[in-house]
Structure 1
Amino acid sequence: MAVPDYPRPPFKPQQQSFPGKTAKMDPRPDHGEESYVGHGLLKGKKALITGGDSGIGAAVAIAYAREGADVAIVHLPTEEHDAAQVLEQIRQAGVEGVAYACDISDPQQAESMIAEAAKTFGRIDVLVNNAAYQQYYEKLEEITLEEWKKHFDTNVHAPFNLVRLALPHMREGASIINTASVQSKKPSPNILPYASTKGAIANLTLGLAGLLAEKNIRVNAVLPGPIWTPFIPAGMDEEEVKHFGESVPFKRPGQPAELASAYVMLAADTASYTSGALLTVAGGAPMF
């Protein structure tokens, strides 16, 4: 199969407020709606994906559904429109799909959401901690303690809490997949709080892999490079958006659909010996 001729920079100016809307992006991201073909790799599994309404989370949700998994996506209450479109894609694959409006940084909301998902599906086989918060700052003085805490509440504390809450509903062979970032190894100064949280997520992944090995629950992380999602116009300045993705060897940003296979592989039973892995998907950019 030929690689699609995906868009390359420069991109048009298109600033948005966080968390951003897919429909306002030009060009529109590819979540695999027309291209992803499943092979039954996740047949019968029950998956829960945070941030499943757009970007990487949406691509993973579509791929999981087409691989045979029942899929629950979690989204902010303001993202109902995008979530509905992804939910339609999930159900068209012939599996069960549900969506939960939930601010995962709120412990009470998170607890209720996990309880409802476990009740609906009976168990949780795959937990994908993908939702995150990101803002751009020109100077260190712009980063308030409140903003710093907001990044960690959403990007670090919430994933840890979701693992803690989901664990009683996971059985031997289950899989936890965290979305970290190349920012965990090569931080950009203007998104310092975000980069710091992704470093924490990478370490959380490694620690959890060790702690949960005795339960035979695998924990891994994907480290995306520059990926064309609503995060970009919502979390970077105009000039960076214009040239987004130019710095990697592929000379373009990746599309969400191009990451889906990594999440499928890590969730599949064929990856039964893979735990504690930090899988970089970054268009040829070297990460050490």
Structure 2
Amino acid sequence: MQGQEAALQREPKWQPIYPGSGRLAGKVAIVTGGDSGIGRAVAALFAREGADVAIVFRHDREDAHATAEIVAQEGRHALCLQGDVGDAAFCRAVVDKVVDRFGGLDVLVNNAGEQHPAEDIRDISQEQLEGTFRTNIFGMFHMVQAALDHLEAGAAIINCTSVTMYKGSPKLLDYSATKGAITAFTRSLSQNLVSKGIRVNAVAPGPIWTPLNPMGGADPEKVKTFGEDTPMERAGEPNEVAPSFLFLACADSSYMTGQVLHPNGGLVVNG
């Protein structure tokens, strides 16, 4: 994720809304991009539901350790691991450390992402294009490849795609392209792993108030009205998205694989 959560004009709401009910009791989860935004809200909710959580982050150590403290306050254990999910060796090291620390792995949340708005496709450099794909989609391949030997029947993989995959975004061309790839990856991987009893689903958030949007190079004037073009006329909060990840992580969604949930403020999209 880009930008520190503490630097936002208004702190995103990550706090779990409801008391826990043990839906992830005894489980171990990895959340990439878990330091802030949606990742922080997912880590907090998973911990409330009984999971130990590994928080994978790239830059923001302060945010990551704040998220780890949130997990600890829920009575669970956290592990912070800093590095680039675009590096396959780092992803293997993450899984090895998690399994060594917690004894296994049950849920993989591929949430890490970056975006860089551009008015003109010609403004997107080769470096930016490759970097966005490396983080947003290559990282998911690397994490799944690293995790697969440790995932047993009943495990869940949840990928974070985006509403931009469905409705497009004129200034987020490379980002939106990666989100399309993520959706296709989710559907294909679900078919590849269904015989192993491993479910693969995705969440496609709409405009959510996290560091990714206001600090990812967006026009400051548009940030002021961010999310107002949805039917609900507001941006969503991370704790309004996290329950979708929880539903897909636990047995509540035992008959679902290859699907995408859409917490997006009422935008109707195909597929």
**TM range, smaller chain:** over 0.9
Gaps of 5+ in 2: none
Pair 1:44-2:26 in alignment: yes
2:43 corresponds to: 61
2:84 to 83, 90, 103: 103
Q: Work out whether residues 36 and 257 of structure 1, in 8 Å CA contact, stay in contact via their aligned partners in 2.
A: no
TM-score (normalised: structure 1): 0.91
Pair 1:181-2:162 in alignment: yes
Segment drifting more, 205-214 vs 132-141: 132-141
Amino acid at match of 1:279: L
Q: Work out whether residues 43 and 67 of structure 2, in 8 Å CA contact, stay in contact via their aligned partners in 1.
A: yes
Aligned partner of residue 204 in structure 2, secondary structure: strand
Q: Work out whether residues 74 and 101 of structure 1, in 8 Å CA contact, stay in contact via their aligned partners in 2.
A: yes
Q: Please list the CA deviations of residues 112-158 of structure 1 after superposition, one character each: whole Å capped at 9, or x if unmatched.
A: 11111121122110000000011011211110111111111000111
Moved over 2 A (4+): none
Gaps of 5+ in 1: 1-17
Q: Residues of 1 paired with 2:256 and 2:15: CA distance?
A: 25
2:213 corresponds to: 232
Deviation at 1:38, TM superposition (A): 1.3
Amino acid at match of 2:107: V
Amino acid at match of 2:2: P
Aligned length: 269
* Structure possessing the higher relative contact order (Cα contacts under 8 Å, 6 or more residues apart): 1
Q: Matches of residues 14-163 of structure 1 in structure 2 within 5 Å? A: 19-32=2-15, 35-76=17-58, 78-163=59-144
2:251 to 239, 245, 269: 269
Deviation at 1:36, TM superposition (A): 4.2
Aligned partner of residue 42 in structure 2, secondary structure: helix
Q: Work out whether residues 3 and 60 of structure 2, in 8 Å CA contact, stay in contact via their aligned partners in 1.
A: no
Deviation at 1:272, TM superposition (A): 1.1
TM-score (normalised: structure 2): 0.97
Deviation at 1:160, TM superposition (A): 0.9
Q: Matches of residues 188-203 of structure 1 in structure 2 within 5 Å? A: 188-203=169-184
Q: Residues of 1 paired with 2:250 and 2:21: CA distance?
A: 11
Q: Residues of 2 paired with 1:105 and 1:219: CA distance?
A: 20
Q: Residues of 1 paired with 2:167 and 2:267: CA distance?
A: 11
Q: Matches of residues 234-253 of structure 1 in structure 2 within 5 Å? A: 234-235=215-216, 236-253=218-235
CA RMSD of aligned residues (A): 1.1
Q: Please list the CA deviations of residues 158-185 of structure 1 after superposition, one character each: whole Å capped at 9, or x if unmatched.
A: 1011101100011111000000001111
